[in-house]
Amino acid sequence: MGLTYLRPSFRQTVRGMRDFLPEDAWKLRFIEETARRLARLYDYDEVITPVIEHYELLAAKIGEENRKRMYVFEDLGGRKVALRPEFTASIARLVATKMVSAPKPIRLFSVGSLYRYDEPQLGRYREFWQANYELIGSSNPEADAEILSLTGDFLSSVGLKNFMIKVNHMGILRGIFESEGILENEQNTIMQLLDKKERDRALKLAEEYGASGKCLETLKSLFEIGGNDKNSVVNEISEAVKDYPVAINSLNNLSKIIDLIEYGDLRANLYFEAGFARGLEYYTGIIFEAYVPELNIAVGGGGRYDKLINLFGVEMPAVGVALGMDRIMLAMEKQGVNPPKSETARVLVIPVNESTIAEAFKISTMLRRSNIIARMETMRRSLARSLSDASRRGITHTIIVGPKEIREGKVVLRDMRSKSQIEVKIEDLPNKIKT
C-alpha cells in the first residue's frame, strides 16, 4: 500500500497564521510574563474567557471595519458564533452576568489570542495576541490615569524606549457632532474615517450629515492641533470648541486625567492629537494608542467605554487597554531589546556507553526532582559529540556517566564554560551544580 503524502499547499500554515519557533515563543511568553507581573503589581485579577462567543455579542459595538473581519461560522448545533476579535466584549459579558454584585471597582486582566481577517503584513496577523486590562465601575479620572500609567509601565517593563502614547477624548468630537444633531451611527462612520486619518472624507461626510459651516471650521481647526505640551494643547482645543459646551466638559475631563500623571517620565511620552479617533464604537471618553518610533502601527490602544456594559442592562462605567503582544515583540526586535537570558544551570547527562544508560536516566530524574533543568543525551552519541552538542545548545554543565566512576558511586561533572571537570559523588550533584 502506497503512502499518500499531504499536498504541498496544505503543509503551510493557513494564510495569516504563524508558527512560533522556540525563540519567538520564548519572547512572546516573556511579554506575557511581564504582562502578568504587572497585573499582579496593579492588583488586577486574571479571568479566562472563551475564544468562541456568540456572533451578536462580538458584533454589537466593534465597529464596521472589525465586524467585516470577524471569523464567523455556524457550529454543529446551528449557532452563529465567531472567534473573538477582542477581549472587551467578553469581559463586558462576564462582568454584567457574573460579577454584577462584586465590589467596585473590578480590575480584570486577560491574555490570549484574537482573530481578525486583516490583510497580513508586518505587524498585522489574522491570529494575534493581546494583554488586556480593564478597570470597571469607576468613571473618575484616576481610573483612566491608572490605565495610562499601566500602559507606560508595561512598555518600559519589556524594555522599550522612546514610546509615545497618543491621546484624545472621544467626548470632544462626539460632543460637537451631538450638538449638530448628527446621529450616533453617522458619528461612528465619521470616526472610522478619522481612525484611518481620512480627514477630508470625514469632513465631507459630516457635511452630508448636516454639519454646519461653524462645525466644519471647528473640526478643521481641531485637526491642526497636536503636541506634547498639555497646557498649550488644552488651551488651543478650548479655544477651538468654545461654542460646544459638551466638548468643553470632555476636555476638562482629559485635562484632569493628565494632571494625575506626574510620576516617572510618562507625561513626557504623551502626545495630544485633537483629530485622533478610534474605530471601536464603544469609546465614550479618553482614547489612546501607543507607538514606538521604529513602527508605524500601534503597539497598544485603549480608552473609556461607559456604555458598553449597558448593553446587558447594567450600568457600569469602564476603562481599559489592550497591548498587542506580537507588535511589542516586533518593536523589541527593532530596538534590539532581548528578553533577559536566564542564568539558571542547564545540565546534559551523558552516558558514555550503553552500560550506563539506566544510571544516566536515574541521575537525570534525580536532578529534576532537585529543581535542576536536566536533559539526557538520547541519541547515543559519542562523548566528544555529546560535548559539542552541549556547547551548541548553551548547556552550562555536563555529567559524564562512565562505568568505572559509577562503580564508586560517582560521575564526572564538567563546567562547560570553564571547561574544568571534577569527580563528584552522585548524591552531591545537586549541591555542586547549584553552587
User: Which parts of this chain interact with ligand AMP (CB under 6 A)?
Assistant: 86, 116, 118, 123-125, 128, 130, 298-301, 322, 324, 326-327
Closest distance of CB 147 from ligand AMP, Å: 13
* Helix and strand element counts for the chain (H, E): 16, 17
What minimum distance in Å lies between the beta carbon of 5 and ligand AMP?
Answer: 32
Q: Which grid coordinates are listed for 96?
A: 454584567
Q: Kind of pairing, strands 346-351 and 373-376? A: parallel
Residue 159 or 430 with smaller CB distance to ligand AMP: 159
Least distance to ligand AMP, CB of residue 301, Å: 4
CA distance 372 to 335: 33
- Residue nearer to ligand AMP on the CB measure, 131 or 234: 131
Q: Specify the residue, 153 or 178, whose C-beta has the smaller distance to ligand AMP.
A: 153
Pick between residue 192 and residue 218 the one whose CB is nearest to ligand AMP.
Answer: 192
Cα angle 75, 81, 83 (rounded to 5 degrees) comes to 110
Nearest distance, CB of residue 284 and ligand AMP, angstroms: 15
Least gap, CB of 154 to ligand AMP (angstroms): 12
53: left (phi over 0), alpha (psi -120 to 50) or beta: beta
Residue least distant from ligand AMP (Cβ): 324
Full DSSP string of 215-280: HHHHHHHHHT-EES-HHHHHHHHHHHTTT-HHHHHHHHHHHHHHHHTTSTTGGGGEEEETT---S-
Spacing of C-alpha 255 from chain mean position = 27
User: Which residue type is seen at 190?
Assistant: I
The string of DSSP letters for 6-42 reads PPGGGTSPPTT-----HHHHHHHHHHHHHHHHHHHHT
Angstrom distance (rounded) from CA 278 to CA 152: 19
Rounded Cα gap, residues 44 and 240, in angstroms: 39
What's the closest the beta carbon of residue 299 comes to ligand AMP, in angstroms?
Answer: 5
Q: Judging by beta carbons within 10 Å of its beta carbon (0-12, 13-18, 19+), is residue 213 exposed, middle or buried? A: exposed
Q: How far is the CB of 102 from ligand AMP (least distance, A)?
A: 24
| 107 vs 116 by CB, closer to ligand AMP | 116
Of 123 and 152, which has the nearer Cβ to ligand AMP? 123
Nearer to ligand AMP, 30 or 125 (CB): 125
